[in-house]
Amino acid sequence: MKAITTFFRQPWLFAFAAAIAVWIATAAFTQGQGAGEVLSVAFTFATFFVIVAIGQMFVVTLGPGNVDLSIPATMTLAGTVSMKIMDGLNWMILPGYLIAVAVGVVVGVLNVGLIRVLRIPPIIATLSSSFIIQSAAIWYNRGLRVKPPTMLADFTTAKIAGMPILALLVILIAAVMHVVLNRTIYGRTVIAIGQNARAARLAGLEVNRVRFLTYVMCAVFAASCGYVLAGFSGGAALNMGQEYLLASVAVVVIGGTSVAGGFSNIPGLWGAALFLFLLVTMLNTFGLGAGVRLLLTGLIIIAVITLAGGSRSSER
């Protein structure tokens, strides 16, 4: 009994319930036709949401005001730079990835520099750094679309029994990050800072180092996402990160992470990412026009965040 009640108190349950409800609504509309394919496609696209959302979640957990708005620009820069350097050569796949990671590290250091050294609030700092990063991508890319190496394209689109291999890999990464969040000194420190930064420092935790690592890690996740997304969609595009700004924050919040910091969970990211994609699919299936669809998506996200936030605050 006790196990059941604790199960129903999990903050990520809501996101999965919403995702399943939307999926069932879609399947009901089509009388079950193509429900399996819809799920398979949802996993493909949710994977990219989850990669950026993991980094964003750690940043948001650091406490009020902490958010990384440079994720879309970082994805674009990492995608364009790595594609151009790999130049479609299969043996360059690993060096290309390392270059994407390096782009992430540079962006992360830039963000922390603005936040810590110049004392700019994170929301402004990451927004302004994203202008620099996006401009760098435009300058470097000059509108060329370089095709990804064939092996990378094959890998990012491969499926086993309808399940994308990339999704399986990211489920594994999410599991690892779950352990990192809850069972390592780093993760505990992130949560402690989010609840009470002053108390964290006085408890002897390395607050500044952990903040630094978290912003760098978030940028590296964004860069990795840019790399695989460019591989998946046949090359990098300058607007490829666009929808990931809202998505990264929405997935984190719908997934049951507190916007006020100090309270977060990884499983919810998957539930929320699937929900977001399935929601758009459902509205498409219902045959709604693009304008109405976007409007409804926005309204539904607001409703879900309000509901999820409300249920959590009454629990405490």
Partner 1 sequence: MTPNESVGGAAAPAPVAGEAGDGVRLSAIAKRFGAVVALGGVSLDVPPGTCVGLVGHNGAGKSTLMNVLAGTLTADEGTIAIGGDDVTAGYAIARARERGVRCIFQELSLCPNLTVAENARIEHPSLTGLSWRTEAGRLIRAKLDEIFPGHGISPGAVVADLSIARRQMVEIARAFSQTATPVRLVILDEPTSSLDQTIARQLLDHIRRFVDGGGSAVFISHLLGEVLDISDRVVVMKDGLVVADEPAAHFDRDGLVAAMGSVGGHAAAASTQSRRDTGAPKVAIDARGGGARLTAHPGEIVGLAGLAGHGQTDTLLDVFARAGRTKGAAIVDGRVAFVAGDRQTDGAFPLWSIAENIGIGSLHALKQGRFISEAKEGELAERWRERIGIRAPSVWNPLLSLSGGNQQKALFARALASDADIILMDDPMRGVDVGTKQEVYKIIREEAEKGRTFLWYTTEMDELLICDHIYVFRERAIVADLTRSELTEEAVIQASFRQDA
List interacting residues with partner 1 (CB under 8 A): 179, 182-185, 188, 191-192, 195-196, 198-200, 202-205, 262-263, 316
DSSP, collapsed to helix, strand or coil, labels residue 194 as: helix
**Which stretches of 158-266 are DSSP H helices?**
165-183, 185-195, 197-202, 207-232, 244-254
Q: What are phi and psi of 241, to 5 degrees?
A: -90, -10
Identity of the residue, 145 or 201, whose beta carbon is nearer to partner 1 in the bound complex: 201
Give least dist CB 183 to partner 1, A.
Answer: 4
For residue 149, the minimal CB distance to partner 1 (Å) is: 35
Structure tokens at 214: 């978290």
Instruction: Please state, in angstroms and rounded to a whole number, the distance separating the CA atoms of residues 199 and 179.
Output: 24
Q: Minimum distance from CB of 184 to partner 1 (Å)?
A: 6
Is 65 or 298 the residue whose CB approaches partner 1 more closely? Answer: 65
Distance CA 300, CA 91 (A): 45
Nearer to partner 1, 72 or 256 (CB): 256
The rounded distance, in Å, linking the Cα atoms of 192 and 199 is 8
Do 62 and 207 contact (CB within 8 A), yes or no? no
Question: How many Å apart are CA 39 and CA 178, to the nearest integer?
Answer: 24
Name the minimum Å distance from CB 264 to partner 1: 10
Q: Which stretches within the chain are classed as H helix?
A: 2-8, 13-29, 35-61, 71-86, 93-112, 122-141, 150-157, 165-183, 185-195, 197-202, 207-232, 244-254, 267-285, 290-315
For tokens 């539930």, the residue is: 271
Q: Considering the complex, state which of residue 33 and residue 184 has its C-beta at the smaller distance from partner 1.
A: 184
Q: How far is the CB of 258 from partner 1 (least distance, A)?
A: 8
| Residues forming beta bridges with residue 159, ordered by sequence position | 164
Nearer to partner 1, 119 or 142 (CB): 119
> What's the token pair of residue 130?
């994203």
Q: Which CB, 76 or 258, lies closer to partner 1? A: 258
Give whichever of 144 and 176 is closer to partner 1, judged by the CB atom: 176
Q: What's the min distance (Å) between Cβ of 24 and partner 1? A: 34
Integer CA distances (angstroms), 194 to 18, 66, 171, in order: 27, 9, 25
Q: Which is nearer to partner 1, 63 or 122 (CB)?
A: 63
Please state the closest distance from residue 195 (CB atom) to partner 1, in A: 4
Task: Report the alpha-carbon angle 5-47-80, nearest 5.
Answer: 150
- In the complex, least distance from residue 76 CB atom to partner 1, rounded to whole angstroms: 35
Instruction: Spell out the residues 6+ positions from residue 298 whose beta carbon is closer than 8 angstroms to its own.
Output: none
